[in-house]
Chains A and B, each alone.
Chain A
């Protein structure tokens, strides 16, 4: 049994989600290979070879892999798929986009967002916004799986010494092309990788009000997130959204400010180690999952908290 992990990367470096996926792959399939399909992605391939537990890196390089177009990356995966018992990708925007194409072409079911490996053919995955956990068993010859990062520890980024093998790149599909990217520049940690997250909800009242959270996030070196209500209201960008259909996070500390706690939001953060809720409504559902709650006006409480942290 050999498992193949589709690396998520920006050509220069690997995304942390790749490390979590390697851990799941090792539990499911034993030997782990990593595919790096990119453009001038030598550095990413070298980084993949250094991951503990990886025995081989397959590096396919071509200009049409530069932007991770699903059509091209999926074809590259299919070109080498037959050798594997498991094919895994992170359950991020990147992996979710590519992997179902691979599963469909292999005529196998995909198992999405696994949080646990019970056996090489049996996996646990949340359904209904995490209100139920399904244990599913696959009899397909190749198991195609996306991995929820919060369910698996990150593999060590160093200590491995895998061989790097070049693979010839598949042809450009020619049917899709990359136009542009608007990436929010931020000095803060990435939401899905942050140890501490400060998140705001509808209770913030405006985009301007989110500024009150910045000193708190600065003090804690935290990432900033939001509920869907805050994103829909246009207070903050969409990629801040934590929840069932946004990002799934499990930091050490999650501070929910002015978030009532709809089930769809809880689905995205309830696996955090410690949850703090600040809300003026003592009946808010967020308090039912919070370890520590403060009932009060966030515009009073947040500055006090910043001051108290010194």
Chain B
């Protein structure tokens, strides 16, 4: 059985982005880029399923600029067998990505697609659910445990107030939450091996998908700044300030 894992190239987790002075976006020139952390968890999960003998092939997919090939190589160094890049310079919205992934899923016929629950750049949290709807498949989002068995996947989800377990018939969509697994460190030999794996490049036009953005970004601004407050010398002062100055207790 085949698993697809979409991966996104995003500004690294540790980078604090700056808003451009003309308010057209954030400045990502010369900023470290990495695989979206939730997608790394997705690749790790698919790889573990393969290592456990439940899955025969893991295919990583990315959509975006040429440099997304690096992200795909990372996925292959973790354990994906091959990669597909849908190359485009258009800034892709989740709906466009979901349509591209649907076109690839129609060709590849996977039984399971594992995605990160959200990308840490646009924080949309949409693509997996949209893809599930377009394919007419069931979904289990925010997964903290995934168990594959005959024709079914049982998923424990992180929801408000606790955990919830669902059973889905395959084919199905799963999106990952933080506690699903801890991705392995990629080793040098695996990075070398990944360079020899197949990486196919295609284009949205080849897949018959219109990726024109639907939303217009009017502007991007800095959030309202919180000014730093004061350090109080002791607990008595703190309680007095909370009572009389902030009036919150």
Interface residues of A (CB under 8 A from B): 67, 69-71, 74, 92-94, 96-105, 107-113, 122, 126-140, 173-184, 190, 192, 196, 220, 228, 231-232, 237-239, 244-245, 247, 252-253, 263-264, 270, 273-276, 282, 287-295, 301, 304-305, 308-309
Contact = CB atoms under 8 A, between A and B. Distances in A.
Contact of A292 (B38, B130, B229): B229
A69 B166 contact: yes
Interface string B153-165: 0100111111111
A135 B126 contact: no
Contacts of A232: 178-179
Interface string B223-245: 10010111110111011011000
A154 B77 CA distance: 48
6 contacts: A97-B139, A101-B129, A110-B124, A128-B17, A130-B223, A294-B234
B168 A175 contact: yes
B246 interface: yes
Interface stretch (B56-64, B104-112, B194-202, B214-222): B214-222
Interface string B128-171: 11111110011111101000000000100111111111111100
A103 B220 contact: no
A287 B230 CA distance: 8
B29 to A, nearest CB: 15
Contact of A93 (B16, B98, B137, B158): B158
A108 B215 CA distance: 9
Contacts of B129: 70, 96-101, 104
Contact of A180 (B133, B164, B216, B222): B164
Contacts of B167: 176-177, 179
A273 B164 CA distance: 32
Contacts of B221: 132-133, 135
Contact of B226 (A134, A239, A289): A289
Contacts, number: 257
Nearest to B13: A264
A301 B235 CA distance: 7
Nearest to A10: B161
Nearest to B99: A104
B26 A128 contact: yes
Given A113-B123, A135-B220, A181-B165, A276 B214 contact: no
Contacts of A126: 123, 223
A102 to B, nearest CB: 8
Contact of B126 (A110, A140, A178, A295): A110
Contacts of A282: 231
Contacts of A108: 95, 214
A306 to B, nearest CB: 9
B205 interface: no
Contacts of A292: 229-232, 238, 241-242, 246
B218 A103 contact: no
Contacts of B125: 96, 100, 112
A62 B207 CA distance: 39
A139 B154 CA distance: 39
Given A288-B228, A292-B232, A239 B160 contact: yes
A93 B229 contact: no
B223 A294 contact: no
Interface string B67-90: 000000000000000000000000
Nearest to A178: B166
Give the interface centre of B159, B221, B236 by most chain A CB atoms within 10 Å: B159
Contacts of A270: 226
Contact of B162 (A103, A110, A181, A293): A181
Given A135-B219, A180-B164, A237-B162, 14 more contacts: A70-B139, A100-B127, A100-B133, A101-B139, A128-B26, A135-B218, A140-B214, A177-B166, A182-B163, A183-B162, A190-B161, A239-B159, A273-B246, A291-B246
A270 B223 CA distance: 10
A93 to B, nearest CB: 4
Contacts of A179: 154, 165-167
A268 B161 CA distance: 17
Given A100-B94, A100-B129, A237-B162, A294 B238 contact: yes
A131 B27 CA distance: 12
B206 interface: no
A73 to B, nearest CB: 12
A228 B164 CA distance: 20
A93 B219 contact: no
B235 A304 contact: yes
A239 B95 CA distance: 28
